[in-house]
């Protein structure tokens, strides 16, 4: 048997550890998968994770036991969005995909006790890679402090003098009766 490996961001690894700590015991169907994932994990910063690795919120194409491929978004938990769009890591198949590289498979046992091989075909979108690409296009790079930048845009009336109405005596305070 080949050595299992998976690449996880620090955030994804922490989420898996929390899930493992919250498992209901050895009877929990995800407990064995979580143990295998955590034991075989190479933990990386989000800026270092390869673009061909399935991370949380990645859109991936995968197949199970060689059947027709399916495309889903690997999500943290069940979503209320359109059915069939997301594959939560709270399911065996979703958890199996997390951390896999393109072309890599992961064996799990389904509810009937039969072995299923989940194969990751392609990572279409990965949020970490998209972030790096956006930063490269903007020229900000990862050297910035991480704080958002603010650009002030002056309006059309910036250079115009504002007219303030004054009372007939030149005093503009209406007094307490205005309240």
Q: Are 120 and 100 in contact (CB under 8 A)?
A: yes
pTM: 0.73
Q: Structural domain boundaries of the chain?
A: 6-133
- For every one of its 179 residues, what pLDDT tens digit does the chain have, with 9 covering 90 and above? 457 899 999 999 999 999 999 886 667 889 999 999 999 999 999 999 999 999 999 999 999 999 999 999 999 876 666 677 899 999 999 999 999 999 999 999 887 888 999 999 999 999 999 999 998 888 754 455 556 666 666 665 566 666 655 556 666 666 676 65
Q: Which CATH number fits domain 6-133: 3.30.565.10, 3.30.70.1070, 1.20.1070.10, 3.10.50.30?
A: 3.10.50.30
CA neighbours within 13 Å on the CB side: how many for 113?
Answer: 1
Other beta carbons within 10 Å of 53? 26
Instruction: For residue 61, list its beta bridge partners.
Output: 71, 122
């Amino acid at each position: 048997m080949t050595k299992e490996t998976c690449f996880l961001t620090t955030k994804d690894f922490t989420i898996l550890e929390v899930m493992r700590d919250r498992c209901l015991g050895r009877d929990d169907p995800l407990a064995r998968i979580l143990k295998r994932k955590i034991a075989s994990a190479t933990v990386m910063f989000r800026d270092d994770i390869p673009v061909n690795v399935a991370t949380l919120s990645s859109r991936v194409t995968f197949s199970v036991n060689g059947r027709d491929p399916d495309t889903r978004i690997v999500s943290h938990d069940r979503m209320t969005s359109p059915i069939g769009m997301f594959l939560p890591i709270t399911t065996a198949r979703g958890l199996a995909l997390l951390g896999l590289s393109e072309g890599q498979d992961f064996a799990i046992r389904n509810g009937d006790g039969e072995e299923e091989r989940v194969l990751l075909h392609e990572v279409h979108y990965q949020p970490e890679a998209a972030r790096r690409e956006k930063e490269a296009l903007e020229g900000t790079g990862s050297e910035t402090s991480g704080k958002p930048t603010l650009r002030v845009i002056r309006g059309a009336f910036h250079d115009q003098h504002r007219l303030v109405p004054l009372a007939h005596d030149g005093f503009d305070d209406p007094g307490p009766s205005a309240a």
